[in-house]
A and B are shown apart, each in its own frame.
Chain A
Amino acid sequence: MQNVVVVGGGLAGFRFVQSLRDAGYDGAVTVVSEEEHLPYDRPPLSKQLLAGTFTEEQCALPGEAAEVEWKLGRRAERLDRDLRVVVLDDGSEVAYDGLLIATGRRARRWDGALPSVGVHTLRDLADTAAFRADIGADARVVIIGAGFIGCEVAATLRKEGVDVTIVDVAAHPMPVMGPEIGARAARIHEAEGVRFRLGKGVAAIEGDDRVTGVRLEDGELLEASVVLVAVGSLPNSEWFTDAGLAMDRGVVICDETCAVLDANGAVVPEVFAAGDIAAWPHRHAEGAACIEHWSNARDMADLAARNLLLAVEERTALASVPTFWSDQYNVKIKSAGFLRAVDTWTIVEEDADKPSLLAEGHRNGELVGAVAFNMNRSIIGYQRSLANVKVGT
């Protein structure tokens, strides 16, 4: 192994390089990233960076990625697996003998006509700065999408007294946690002054130049000076869709060692993937699961680097428990397990005043996940018990 190429300069790419160097790899490393910045951490964007308690510099990922040739502001256009080169947007080619696919995802944009000013998405540093700059005194913010980004941004803005309305077709915020937890989360936000329009579709984002409001399908107009579209993400996989790899809903499928599979299902031993551009065979998923959590990028990247340096038969399997966290007001939300598999949620413990809660998610009677609000010790037990669930089928 002489030439390792990483496409994608986020958490997964950065951790992969660190892990390669920790494992003793001393060959060349090239990181291609469409962003102009060195790798940074995204969780603070909707919280500390938006609130102004972190600078952009404080979002830098800690630690070193030693001796890397950074190709920043460069986009990969094509992957040629026969020649083992990545073709970049300036026409140059980067040859590899080991490759990490780590291009992640981008914010899904509003599919329809838009006013030219005041409509935002939030996925990177530039997005956050532009959104922040647009929120003046007396701003009325409508957030389309009650997922984690939408709810975190609402919490950050409500601390400053900004007027916030969240609209979503879902019946509850953060629906992956189920209706019982979602209803409680909605009450927490409402107590802080957030207005919800749940179970409501958006007909149009109105305004000629600057946005003036969000028109719901039932005819109601939500007046707005700023709109955040937080309706999920799309995989940045266009550059390798014709490379003959196994794909599922736009992401590449890996085996349990994080090596990618080709379209026939055979392992490609020199190509790995990590983070939310990849899916891997979680036991509780239907087929492969794309897990869009910070911890998943960390764990896949760390293992992919170590496995790349090993012969195929010596490689080890991923032992990552999906976990996420979210901070909203004084509530620390944590999860363990593959929540999309849950068919029945049960509130195990609750103190509405604190507020705290612990909920278990089962599928066909088997524990597959758990969620905690402000119960930082209890969730660790679930991380441990769910860690004993082997990956693969």
Chain B
Amino acid sequence: MKITVDTDLCEVHGDCVVAAPDIFDIGEDDDVVQILNAEPGEEYRAAIVQATKMCPVAAIKIEG
């Protein structure tokens, strides 16, 4: 599975960091979220799906 974030949409709400802290992070001054692991294992799928549902701007895409 491959994770991408549309940085034009991202408003650093941080809900993805709450849902999937091993995959996403934000710094205090960041304008967009950081992807810590863009090709995570299947064990993270449930948390990442939750992150996509939580995101207020639907910026996260899962491929595969």
Residue numbers of A with Cβ under 8 A of B are 43, 62-63, 294-295, 298, 302, 325, 327, 332, 334, 356, 374-380, 383-384, 387
Contacts and interface: CB of A to CB of B under 8 A. Distances in A.
A334 B15 CA distance: 11
Contact of B26 (A294, A325, A376, A384): A376
A145 to B, nearest CB: 24
B28 A375 contact: yes
Contacts of B58: 62-63
Interface residues of B, number: 16
B19 to A, nearest CB: 10
A377 B28 contact: yes
Question: Which 5 interchain pairs have the tightest Cβ spacing?
Answer: A62-B58, A377-B28, A376-B12, A380-B14, A376-B26
A383 B18 contact: yes
Overall SS of chain B's interface: loop
B12 A43 contact: no
Contact of A379 (B11, B14, B27, B53): B14
Interface of B: 11-15, 17-18, 26-30, 53-54, 56, 58
Contact of A377 (B13, B27, B56): B27
Given A380-B17, A380-B26, 5 more contacts: A298-B54, A325-B56, A332-B11, A374-B28, A379-B14
A352 to B, nearest CB: 16
A356 B54 CA distance: 25
Nearest to A358: B28
Given A332-B12, A377-B27, A377-B28, A384 B53 contact: no
A376 B13 CA distance: 7
A380 B18 contact: yes
Contacts of A334: 13-14
B16 to A, nearest CB: 10
A19 to B, nearest CB: 8
B56 A294 contact: yes
Contacts of A377: 14, 26-28, 30
Contacts of B11: 325, 327, 332
23 contacts: A43-B56, A294-B56, A325-B13, A327-B11, A332-B11, A332-B12, A334-B13, A356-B28, A374-B28, A374-B29, A376-B14, A376-B28, A377-B14, A377-B26, A377-B28, A378-B28, A379-B14, A380-B18, A380-B26, A383-B14, A383-B18, A384-B18, A387-B18
A250 to B, nearest CB: 26
Nearest to A15: B53
Nearest to B55: A62
Contacts of B29: 374
Contacts of A356: 28
A325 B29 CA distance: 16
Contacts of B56: 43, 294-295, 298, 325
B17 to A, nearest CB: 5
Contact of A376 (B30, B53, B54): B30
Contacts of B18: 380, 383-384, 387
Contacts of B14: 334, 376-377, 379-380, 383
Nearest to B57: A62
B53 A302 contact: yes
Contacts of B15: 295
A383 B54 CA distance: 13
Contacts of A375: 28
B39 to A, nearest CB: 24
Contacts of B28: 356, 374-378
Contacts of A376: 12, 14, 26-28, 30
A302 B14 CA distance: 19
Residue with the greatest number of chain B CB neighbours at <10 A, chosen from A294, A334, A375, A376: A376
A29 B11 CA distance: 32
A377 B26 CA distance: 6
